[in-house]
Structure 1
């Protein structure tokens, strides 16, 4: 994400029925990134078309976990493999940066996200829902 496309990113949105699983608009993540150290934002493109947005951490938490706080594909571009392709590229980037444990969460009522994360190797940390999310981990070593 850059000065050239930040506003276009704020126009991305999920389907109305998905607001319960992705309630924060992109503008929230842009604002939070200005105050939380280590949040990195990326626009997701398919060729030259903006299709989504993601947030990842470039610094680990106290347990040496690197988090992906948000991944969102615009309502018009869902179901086309953009989320999977973006996560695959991000996992590769984070692995090259020596991230050994990548963490991601999703709401229990978002089985599509859960299935996507499982196909990429993310395992449930526990069956317990933590802060409203199922937490998953990917060991990259």
Structure 2
């Protein structure tokens, strides 16, 4: 089974709120999962996914189910819990999400990260995301993955 993404639901939302990053990562991932869950109740475009390794909850992803005016689909948040980092779960979860978004006919996927979050930058580059701007939105580096 490996890594798989499940919708955040009545069954797992509370467990998702317990996910957290390492204390030193707070400046690069300042919004807790509970924030994203709350915001999704008011931003109709946000889709939330819990990231599971087998039956263990290991992370959380937010993506947009509709493109913006330029045809870009955004991934506003990806986080892997502090206890599960460094095991390849983030990369595997992104592969799964990209495959799902490809099936939604996405052609352009955008993601941002704080400049000092070098781990995220390296991960996104390894997945094929190209830097398109620096400090464009909330001081984040913006990257694009062009799908064929």
- Of 120, 123, 131, which residue of structure 2 is paired with 1:116? 123
Give the C-alpha shift of residue 30 in structure 1. 0.2
Say what the alpha-carbon RMSD is for the aligned residues.
Answer: 0.6
Unaligned runs of 5+ in 1: none
| Aligned position for 1:77 | 84
Distance across 1 between alignment mates of 2:24 and 2:147: 33
Extract structure 1 runs of 4+ deviating beyond 2 A: none
Structural mapping, 1:96-107, within 5 Å: 96-107=103-114
**Distance in 2 of aligned mates of 1:53 and 1:28:** 12
1:129 and 2:124 are equivalent in the alignment: no
Q: Structure 1-normalised TM-score?
A: 0.98
Larger RCO, structures 1/2 (Cα 8 Å, 6+ apart): 2
TM-score for both structures, normalised by structure 2: 0.93
- Which one has the bigger strand percentage? 2
In structure 1, the residue matched to 2:31 is 24
1:12 aligns with 19
- Matches of 1:4 and 1:11 in 2, distance apart? 14
> Gaps (5+ residues) in structure 2?
1-7
